[in-house]
Amino acid sequence: MKVLITGSEGYIGQALVGKLLNSCAVVGVDIQRRSAAVAGYRFVKMDIRDAALAELMLHEQVTHVVHLASVLQASPDRERDYDIDVNGTRNLVQACLHAGVRHLTVTSSGAAYGYHADNPTWLRETDPLRGNESFAYSHHKRLVEELLADYREQHPQLQQLVLRPGTVLGRSTDNQITALFKRKRLLAIQGSPSPFVFIWDQDVIEIIYQGLMGAKVGSYNLAGDGAMTLAEIAAELNKPLLVLPAWLLANALRVGHALGLTQYSAEQLDFLRYRPVLANDALKQDFGYTPMKTSREAFDYFIDHNLQQQQDLS
């Protein structure tokens, strides 16, 4: 068993490298090398769009691939982001087929379901993936999953495990969602409870590890039990919650976007208004893994390890 990890130099990638080295050989691929990377694995600086990826896999006799690399923060160049996320994944899957890789694990996202007013209260793996064209990240995750579904039908010899995490929280998580929590006050939309589901980063690592070792297949939501509304999150943070009507926020974003004061448009209001709330029944019953922390426990863990930073910003 030899595992290639794309995005190996990210936080999850490095933690997974460290865990896998006790069981198998690891090759890491990323566009840059982490300065204090885990020792003991072969690192190759490479873009996932590079045609040489197939020959690298063949030369290294890779049997399993974990695809973590994606664009997390949207750039002004949406075509570039699409090329990395969608065409990069296509290149990776073609490389897997060329090299005879047996098993592919892909980290998608709960965002693939999209931010829609008619989303079910709890989203399950059987619900449609609708994404949102106004959110590059959400739209690309949907397109990637559609691409993977086509390959599953055409090339069943390449087993696939697709994971759809909710918001990942850990000791040092830093992303668009945690940036919301670090503000002096939280913003909510009138009439929208905006529940969040969280998954502890150590649960994500363990799920990927068990999926690899058990050659598990299928698509699974990753979320701790339960959810938290913005009102509950504000109370936990001891911060004020500003609740505004949707029309007022939409107008403010429309004007701000037109004037170049914000990158967000009125359509992207749905990011807070219609959060995808992920059910984890399939993860527990079919995959066979119960998250070690609930959504609230993962949030509390994040706050406990970022308390000083939170106090400084309050």
- pLDDT at position 35 over 90: no
Q: Is residue 292 very low, low, confident or very high in pLDDT (cuts 50, 70, 90)?
A: very high
- pLDDT at position 24 over 60: yes
What is the percent of the chain with per-residue pLDDT over 90, rounded to a whole number? 75
Tens digits of residue pLDDT in 121-162: 999 999 999 999 988 999 999 999 999 999 999 999 999 999
SS3 call for 159: strand
Q: Report the 10 Å Cβ neighbour count for 260.
A: 7
Tens digits of residue pLDDT in 86-132: 999 999 999 999 999 999 999 999 999 999 999 999 999 999 999 99
Residue 77 is predicted with a pLDDT of: 86
Scored b (16 or more CB within 10 A) or e, 177-213 reads ebeebeeeebebbeebbbbbbbbbbbbbbbbbbebbe
- pLDDT at position 250 over 50: yes
Span of 23-27, 140-144, 197-201, 306-310 with lowest mean pLDDT: 306-310
- pLDDT at position 261 over 70: no
Determine the Cα–Cα distance for residues 234 and 242; give it in Å rounded to an integer.
10
Which residue bears the tokens 């949207």?
Answer: 74
Residue 313 is predicted with a pLDDT of: 45
Tokens of 53: 């990826």
Residue 74 is predicted with a pLDDT of: 72
The residue that leads in pLDDT, 72 or 161, is 161
The residue that leads in pLDDT, 92 or 78, is 92
Tens digits of residue pLDDT in 38-54: 999 999 999 999 999 99
Determine the Cα–Cα distance for residues 289 and 132; give it in Å rounded to an integer.
30
Helices (H), 37-194: 53-60, 78-82, 88-99, 136-154, 176-181
> pTM for the complete prediction?
0.93
C-beta separation of 93 from 65 below 8 A: no
Residue 262 is predicted with a pLDDT of: 66
The residue that leads in pLDDT, 50 or 306, is 50
Residue 175 is predicted with a pLDDT of: 79
- pLDDT at position 215 over 60: yes
Residue 72 is predicted with a pLDDT of: 79
Q: Is residue 258 very low, low, confident or very high in pLDDT (cuts 50, 70, 90)?
A: confident
Q: What is the mean pLDDT of residues 74-91?
A: 92
What is the percent of the chain with per-residue pLDDT over 70, rounded to a whole number? 95
Which of 56, 75, 76 lies closest to 4, judged by CA? 56
Can you say how many angstroms the Cα of residue 129 is from the centroid of all Cα atoms in its chain? 15
SS3 call for 42: strand
Domains of the chain: 2-175+199-226+277-294 (3.40.50.720)
- pLDDT at position 227 over 80: yes
The residue that leads in pLDDT, 179 or 50, is 50
Q: What is the mean pLDDT of residues 255-282?
A: 81
Which residue bears the tokens 């830093």?
Answer: 174
